[in-house]
Amino acid sequence: MAIPSGSGSEVLRNAAVESNNAATAKIDFGGTTGTGSIRSSGNTAGVVAVPTNVIITVLTINCTSNAGTQNINCKIDWQGSGTMNTIFNHIGLAEGTTFVYNDKIVLREGDVMTVFNHAATCDWNVHFIYQDWT
């Protein structure tokens, strides 16, 4: 895990999964540039594990239901070990409405954030602070 030493960068970023279709998707934090990215349904591409010497502070997670009523959740795969910790479960997100999770979450090296909706389709947005201490 990165320990701030006085040099590095701290940047506000966002990432998204567009039209996630009854799938689990991994959030792409954008690697060493920390740019984030828009990904498609069921994403596993990009830099989905928090890089070495980086701290990510998640500020908000938004999910908008585009069709039907959704059951949604967000989980963290602790250091990519397969041990999943649930951040939230929400049942009954109505079509055309948005769920906002705005408790802060700190992710460290190796952590992987996943989002899930059980039916078609949802748009996911994650807003975060990307601290690079390399």
pLDDT digits (tens, 9 = 90+) for 13-66: 888 888 888 889 999 888 545 455 678 776 777 778 998 889 999 999 999 999
Asked if residue 55 belongs to a domain, the reply is: yes
Q: How far apart are CA 96 and CA 119, in angstroms?
A: 14
Asked if residue 28 belongs to a domain, the reply is: yes
- Domain boundaries, position 59: 9-132
Asked if residue 2 belongs to a domain, the reply is: no
Contact 21, 97 (CB under 8 A): no
pLDDT digits (tens, 9 = 90+) for 86-134: 999 999 999 999 999 999 999 999 999 999 999 889 999 999 999 988 7
Asked if residue 4 belongs to a domain, the reply is: no
Q: How far apart are CA 35 and CA 22, in angstroms?
A: 26
Q: What is the pTM of this model?
A: 0.87
Asked if residue 84 belongs to a domain, the reply is: yes
Asked if residue 67 belongs to a domain, the reply is: yes
Provide the number of structural domains found in the chain: 1
CATH number at residue 89: 2.60.120.340
